[in-house]
């Protein structure tokens, strides 16, 4: 282990035995190496928190989460912390299981992205446990109101306004909304913003213009088939994978994007501009949000500063090839 940290065995011995003559940085490096390599700390050192930070993600299939992990992990490393990546898998460890493991590892804090805190009907007991322990925590994107952690989020209201305004400027009047599950807090925010945006311009929302689905390509495809059957010509999606499913559904119906149906995604995930057609989407400011999440966490760890507030970051509409004027407008101009 001494070789791993780049110090002498004598230095490691002094740290393990709690002896003086070792800098704080070296002591922290040795203790972190103990945790990373799976060694158990000596009893007298177990109360000294490691410089490990849990990064809990729901999946890695959606490119937005690896992008977040890269930003947050890099920012943590710059602050002298080692990220511990925890990803939920089907039939694997739950988010609550990971929380217990992280607590056992005496992590300095936890950053959650896309977790159960975004689902009103999901179990939240493990979050209350973190609150009781006073462990520094930051949540990325909207959470249920009773979970009083600092959080950073993309402004869902602005995101929907940008997408809705873009479609109406193209002459679309039958606009639909494709969201995540009904208890998903960001989806609820998007739905409220969608209703307000339509009312503001005096546009009636068509019957059955709002669909809920699992955040996956297959969910987007199934829900979009119903939207198309109801005459929707412009679809605002709550994620890029949902939008890709929507494009597939349009094609399976014998129609084309954007000539018959325009599709707007949300995230601006990696490689999304390489699809056919390239996807018009609302870009989340991942770099700014990830770095802000780390700053909020480090402030808690080093200064005990805790403000259970939400920092909202403005997204950016990126117009590409999946949106075009509504067909009626095209015909009128010929």
Q: Is 43 found in the same domain as 165?
A: no
Asked, for residue 227, whether it belongs to a domain, the answer is yes
The verdict on 38 and 160 lying in the same domain is no
Burial 258-291 (b: 16+ CB within 10 A, else e): bebbbbbbbbbbeebeebebebbbbbbbbeebbb
Q: Which position has the higher pLDDT, 306 or 257?
A: 257
Q: Which residue has the higher pLDDT, 71 or 11?
A: 71
- Per-residue pLDDT band for 13 (boundaries 50, 70, 90) equals confident
Of the residues 30, 48, 66, the one at which a domain ends: 48
CATH number of the domain encompassing residue 279: 3.40.50.2300
- Same domain for 173 and 43, yes or no, is no
Q: Does position 208 have pLDDT exceeding 50, yes or no?
A: yes
In a domain, 165, yes or no: yes
For the chain, the average pLDDT equals 89
240 compared with 34, residue with greater pLDDT: 240
Q: Which of 248, 264, 307, 62 is nearest to 177 (CA)?
A: 264
User: Domain check: are 29 and 161 in the same one?
Assistant: no
For residue 37, the enclosing domain spans 1-48
pLDDT at residue 37 in the model? 62
pTM for the whole structure? 0.82
- The answer as to whether 81 is a domain residue is no
Report if residue 206 sits inside a domain.
yes
Q: Where are the alpha helices (DSSP H) in 85-232?
A: 95-104, 125-133, 156-169, 185-200, 217-229
Establish if 328 belongs to a structural domain. Answer: yes
Same domain membership, residue 206 and residue 323? yes
**199 and 323 both lie in a single domain:** yes
% of the chain exceeding 90 in pLDDT? 70
Phi-psi region at 263: left, alpha or beta (left = phi > 0; alpha = psi -120 to 50) = beta
Taking residues 215-231, report their average pLDDT. 95
Least confident of 30-39, 153-162, 290-299: 30-39
DSSP conformation class of 211: E
**What gap in Å lies between CA 232 and CA 255, rounded to an integer?**
12
pLDDT interval class at 15 (50, 70, 90): confident
Distance CA 15, CA 105 (A): 18
What CATH number corresponds to the domain at position 14?
Answer: 1.10.260.40
Summarised one tens digit per residue, pLDDT across range 268-323 is 988 887 889 999 999 999 999 999 999 999 999 988 877 889 999 999 999 999 99
How does residue 91 score in pLDDT terms, banded at 50, 70 and 90?
confident
| Residues 40 and 162 occupy one common structural domain | no
The mean pLDDT of 191-199, rounded to a whole number, is: 97
On the 0-12 / 13-18 / 19+ scale of CB atoms within 10 A, 233 is buried
CA dist., res. 325 & res. 173, Å (int): 11
Which has the minimum average pLDDT: 31-40, 180-189, 206-215, 264-273? 31-40
Place of tokens 């056992």: 104
Q: How far apart are CA 117 and CA 111, in angstroms?
A: 12
The answer to whether position 207 is within a domain reads yes
Residue 295 lies in a domain: no
| Whether residue 37 sits in one domain with residue 173 | no
At residue 270, the pLDDT reads 83
What is the count of structural domains for the chain?
A: 2
Identify whether 12 is part of a domain: yes
Q: Residue 256 CA to chain centroid, in angstroms?
A: 30
């Amino acid at each position: 282990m001494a070789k791993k940290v780049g110090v002498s065995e004598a230095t490691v011995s002094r740290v393990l035995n709690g002896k003086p003559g070792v800098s704080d940085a070296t002591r922290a490096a040795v203790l972190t190496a103990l945790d990373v390599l799976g060694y158990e700390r000596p009893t007298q050192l177990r109360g000294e928190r490691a410089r490990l930070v849990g990064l809990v993600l729901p999946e890695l299939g959606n490119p937005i989460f690896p992008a977040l992990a890269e930003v947050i992990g890099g920012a943590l490393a710059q602050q002298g912390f080692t990220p511990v990546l925890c990803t939920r898998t089907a039939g694997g460890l739950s988010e609550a299981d990971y929380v217990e493991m992280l607590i056992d590892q005496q992590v300095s804090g936890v950053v959650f992205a896309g977790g159960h805190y975004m689902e009103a009907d999901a179990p939240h007991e493990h979050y209350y446990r973190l609150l009781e322990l006073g462990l520094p925590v930051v949540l990325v994107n909207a959470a249920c109101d009773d979970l009083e952690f600092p959080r950073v989020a993309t402004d869902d209201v602005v995101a929907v306004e940008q997408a809705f305004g873009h479609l109406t400027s193209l002459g679309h009047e039958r606009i639909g909304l494709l969201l995540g599950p009904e208890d998903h807090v960001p989806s609820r925010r998007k739905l409220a913003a969608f209703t307000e945006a339509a009312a503001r311009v005096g546009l009636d929302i068509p019957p059955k213009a709002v669909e809920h689905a699992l955040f996956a390509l297959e969910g987007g495809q199934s829900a979009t088939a119903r939207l198309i059957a109801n005459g929707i010509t412009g679809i605002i999606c709550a994620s890029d994978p949902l939008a890709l499913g929507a494009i597939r559904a349009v094609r399976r119906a014998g129609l084309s994007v954007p000539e018959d149906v325009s599709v707007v995604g949300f995230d601006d995930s990696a490689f999304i501009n390489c699809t056919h057609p390239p996807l018009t989407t609302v870009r989340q400011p991942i770099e700014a949000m990830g770095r802000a999440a780390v700053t909020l966490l480090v402030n808690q760890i080093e200064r005990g500063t805790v403000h259970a507030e939400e920092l909202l970051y403005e997204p950016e509409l990126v117009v590409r090839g999946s949106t075009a004027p509504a067909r009626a407008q095209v015909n009128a101009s010929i």
